[in-house]
Amino acid sequence: MKTQRITLGVIVGNRGFFPSYLCRSGREAVLRVLEEEGIGAVAVGPEDTEHGSVESLSDARKCAELFRAHREEIAGILVTLPNFGDERGVANALRLADLNVPVLVHAFPDVIGRASIDHRRDSFCGKISVCNNLRQYGIPFSLTKLHTVEPESESFRRDVRWFAAVCRVANGMRRARFGVLGARPAAFNTVRFSEKLLERAGISVETLDLSEAFGRATALADDDPRVLAKIDSIKAYADAGSVPADSIVRIAKLGVVIDDWRLANEYDATAIQCWTSMEEHFGVVPCTLMSMMSEGLVPSACESDIAGTAAMYALMVASGQPSALLDWNNNYGEEQDKGVVFHCSNLPRSMFVEDKPPMQYQEIIAGSVGKDRTWGTIGGRLRAGPFTFLRISTDDLRGAVTAYVGEGSFTDDPFDTFGGYGVVQVPGFQELLRHICENGYEHHVAVNPALVADSIHEALTKYLGWDVYYHRRQ
C-alpha cells in the first residue's frame, strides 16, 4: 500500500562568505529529489531571498511566515546546506515558525579538486555549527546517515524516505484519537493503561460500554440496507461458508454500530473487549470486523488493549501497511532465536498466506460458552517475510510512556495450530524476552510486515521523548 504523501518545509542555509550560487543549484537539486520521491515542499523562492536561501534575520522571518501559513501542510522541515550556512538564520527560522515538527539536517559534500574560494562549500563544518545552535535553541533534530551526502544519491533518498516515516509517526501519535469498546476483561490486568499519560503525549482515548453497542445492534432490523451491505462486505472479505447465517447477521449488525461509532468520533484506531462478555451476551466474536478495520488502515486491538492499539497505529503510519496484534506465545523447540506468535484471531487479511482466509469459531472461548456463540474469528498462517515489532506501555510507577522496538522475520518453519499464527525468528530473541519480563511489558506485541524500526525509534525517542529500547539486529 502507498504511504501518505507528506510535505516538508525546506530551509536552504547560506553564508555570504561562501559562494552563494551554490544555494541556487543546491536548492534546485533538493527540491527535484523530493518531488521524485513523492514528497511535497514549501520553501522561500529566489524572488523572496537570495537564491531562495536563508541567511539573515530578515530571511528567517520571511521563511517562518511562509511556514506558518502552511502549518497544516508541513509535516517536517529539511535543513539543507549547499555551503557553510548561517546557523543563526536556520535556528531563527525554526524558532520563529514554531511548528513543533521533526527536523532533518543535511549538508552537501565538497569535491576534491574544487576547494578554491570560488567553489568550496565547507558544509561539512557548517552542519556541525547548525546542529550546535539547534541544541542551544532546544530544537530536536535528526541527521542523515552520512555527514555529507549528494541529494541525487540513493543514500540521501533513503534518508528522506526514512525521515518521512519519522514525521508520520511523530505527528500521528501527537494527535491520535482512539476508541475503546468495552471494559478491560477482569482476567487481563496486563492490559491496564494510563489514559492520562497517553493524553499528555497527545493521544486521546474515549470509551463506549458494550451494553450500548449491543443495544444499538439489537435495534437494527435484519433487512436494514446497511446490515445487508455489511453482510456482503464480510462475505467478500473472508470465506464465511461454514458460519451460520444468524451469526453472520449479528456480526454485520455489530459492524454497522462499530462503524457508526468510529466515524462519528473520528477515531484513528480502536480496541475492543470480547473476553467473554460479547460471546455470552451477544453470541459472536468481533474478530473479522476488527481484521477488516485493520486491513483498511484503522487498527483494532483486542482485549481493550489501547497501548497495543497505539503500537499498531505507530507501525501503520510509518509503513502505510496494516498492523496486527499478537501474543509472544510459544517457544519453537530448542531454537533459541525462534518462537511462535499467535492470536485467536483478528489479524488483517493481507498478512495471511491465504488470500481469502476462513472465518471460524473461537476454539478457546468455545470451551466455556459453546461453539455456536463464538463464530467470527479469521485464521491462518502468517506470510513469510520481514517484520517490525513494537510494544508501547504506560508505566504509571515512573509516570512515563515506554516502548521496545525491533525487527525480525516470519519463517516457513512447520507448525500446526488454529487461529492466526506464525513462526518468528528474532536475532538475540532470548535477550529481548529477558528485557520484556524484567521491565514488566505485556504479552501482546504489535507487528507490521515492513522494516521501519529505525523510523519508529527516532520518532518516539527524539520527538515524543519516550524511553524506548531498540533491540537491534545482530
CATH code: domain of residue 269 = 3.40.275.10
Number of other CB atoms surrounding residue 12 within 10 Å: 32
Intervals of the chain under pLDDT 50: 1
Same-domain pairing of 250 and 332: yes
Domain boundary among 146, 174, 202: 174
Q: Examine the domain organization and report whether 246 and 353 are in the same domain.
A: yes
Whether residue 98 is found in the same domain as residue 190:
no
Does residue 271 share a domain with residue 159?
no
Backbone phi and psi for residue 387, each to the nearest 5 degrees, phi listed first? -155, 160
Q: Are 349 and 295 in contact (CB under 8 A)?
A: yes
Instruction: Let me know whether 22 and 103 are in one domain.
Output: yes
Are 82 and 123 contacting, i.e. CB atoms less than 8 angstroms apart? yes
The answer to whether residue 443 is domain-embedded is: yes
The pLDDT assigned to 1 comes to: 47
Residue after which a domain boundary falls, among 125, 147, 174: 174
189 and 120 in a single domain? The answer is: no
In a domain, 457, yes or no: yes
Number of independent structural domains in the chain = 2
Residue 2 included in any domain? no
Neighbours of 437 (CB within 10 A): 9
Handedness of CA 106, 464, 321, 268 (dihedral sign): negative
Asked if residue 378 is part of any domain, the answer here is yes
Question: What pLDDT sits at residue 112?
Answer: 79
Distance CA(418)–CA(386), nearest Å, equals 22
**∠ CA(315), CA(319), CA(321), 5° rounding?**
90
Is residue 361 in some structural domain? yes
* Cell matching residue 459: 520518532
SS3 content of the chain, % helix, strand, coil (to 5): 40, 25, 35
Q: Please say which residue of 174, 202, 221 terminates a domain.
A: 174
Task: Tell me, yes or no, whether 22 and 39 share the same domain.
Answer: yes
312 and 169 in contact (C-beta within 8 Å)? no
Q: How far is CA 397 from CA 375, 400, 466, in A?
A: 39, 8, 15
Q: Which CATH number characterizes residue 122's domain?
A: 3.40.50.10940
The values of phi and psi at residue 412, to 5°, are -95, 10
Measure the CA–CA gap between 271 and 286, rounded to whole angstroms: 11
Provide the grid cell at 361: 469459531
Question: 306 and 442 in one domain?
Answer: yes
Closest CA to 164 of 231, 232, 237, 76: 76
If 0-12 CB within 10 Å is exposed, 13-18 middle and 19+ buried, where does residue 356 land? Answer: middle
| pLDDT value of position 19 | 82
| Cα gap 320→4, rounded to integer Å | 7
| Domain contains 403 | yes
> Rounded CA gap, 449 and 371, in Å?
32
Would you say 134 and 88 are in contact if contact means Cβ atoms under 8 Å apart? no
Same domain, 159 and 205: no
Residue 30 forms part of a structural domain: yes
Q: Do both 371 and 317 map to the same domain?
A: yes
Measure the CA–CA gap between 23 and 26, rounded to whole angstroms: 5
Same domain, 159 and 250: no
Cis geometry, peptide bond prior to residue 276 (ω within 30 degrees of 0): yes
DSSP code of residue 458: H
Residue 1 placed within a domain:
no
Whole-structure pTM over 0.75, yes or no? yes
Task: Please say whether the beta carbons of 181 and 272 come within 8 A.
Answer: yes
Q: For residue 319, give every residue at least 6 positions away whose Cβ sits within 8 Å of its Cβ, in sequence order, or none.
A: 3, 165, 388, 448, 449, 450, 452
Domain that holds residue 18: 7-174
- Residues 268 and 357 both lie in one domain: yes
Among 309, 330, 310, 353, which Cα is nearest to 449's?
Answer: 353
Contact 406, 453 (CB under 8 A): yes
Q: Render the burial of 292-326: b for 16+ CB within 10 Å, e for the rest.
A: bbbbebbbbbbbbbbbbbbbbbbbbbbbbbbbbbb
